[in-house]
Amino acid sequence: MLNKLGDIDFYLVTWSSISKKGNISDVENAVDAGCRIIQYREKNKDTKQLITEAKKLKEICKNKAIFIVNDNIEVALEVNADGVHLGQEDIDINTARKKLGKNKIIGQTVHSLEEAENAEKEGANYVGLAPIFETDTKKDTISPIGKETIKEIRDKINIPIVAVGGITKENVKQVISTGADAAVSVSSVISSDDVFREVRRFIGLIREAKTE
């Protein structure tokens, strides 16, 4: 499964508070559209509800997409997710690795070259670099770092970079050509009327940028 990180392009993050049809529908449509990595991010449910929904999502992703749980090691272990995604304030990578084992994927959100280098050194399998541009989806206290930072980090680390924050169909090719391996676009996909269509569009643009 770790080898499949090299195949990712569009990275879907669930966001039930802005979804029109719910997490299950969104993930079904994204996977059908060809999305190869899904992150289950859910802040409004208790652990039992999280586990129940995560099991359903993992089944949708089975043999088609990497299934990542945001933050919650307990849920990831319970549903045998492919891995977890951690923020800078979450459990550290070394502790997460001990709990999850060597074969699970660990991603970490980073905001700078120093954090990216530390993540790789500690054993992260990929980094989510954020925020690239201004975004209304998540109220970050950190100012946008700009696409130039992608190139700076790409030159220093070997693990995949996922660009996050303010990514649109208009700028996604720029972040890929600058050095990102994949991109997240939450609001323009999850809040749309047609998740399948939007995911397909992003995948097409990302793959075009990788071949140009």
For residue 19, give every residue at least 6 positions away whose Cβ sits within 8 Å of its Cβ, in sequence order, or none: 25, 26, 190, 191
Place of tokens 């272990």: 77
Q: Output the pLDDT for position 135.
A: 82
Token pair listed for 128 = 């989510």
Token pair listed for 35 = 């999305």
User: Tell me: the pLDDT tens digits for 156-167?
Assistant: 999 999 999 999
Cβ atoms 9, 182 nearer than 8 A: yes
Domain ranges of the chain: 2-211
The domain made up of 2-211 has a fold known as TIM Barrel (3.20.20)
Residue 149 CA: distances (Å) to CA of 115, 144, 165, 180? 12, 10, 13, 10
Token pair listed for 56 = 């359903």
Secondary structure class of 41 (helix, strand, coil) = coil
Place of tokens 């220093």: 156
User: Tell me: the pLDDT tens digits for 126-185?
Assistant: 999 999 998 876 655 689 999 999 999 999 999 999 999 999 999 999 999 999 999 999
SS3 content of the chain, % helix, strand, coil (to 5): 45, 15, 40
CA distance 66 to 106: 12
Q: What is the chain's mean pLDDT, rounded?
A: 95
Query: What pTM was estimated for this model as a whole?
Result: 0.96
For residue 168, give every residue at least 6 positions away whose Cβ sits within 8 Å of its Cβ, in sequence order, or none: 185, 188
Left if phi > 0, otherwise alpha if psi is -120 to 50, otherwise beta: which for 47? Answer: alpha
Q: Output the pLDDT for position 136.
A: 73
Give the helix/strand (H/E) hosting 113.
Answer: helix 113-122
User: Tell me: the pLDDT tens digits for 41-68?
Assistant: 999 899 999 999 999 999 999 999 999 9
For residue 116, give every residue at least 6 positions away whose Cβ sits within 8 Å of its Cβ, in sequence order, or none: 110, 127, 129, 153, 156, 157, 161
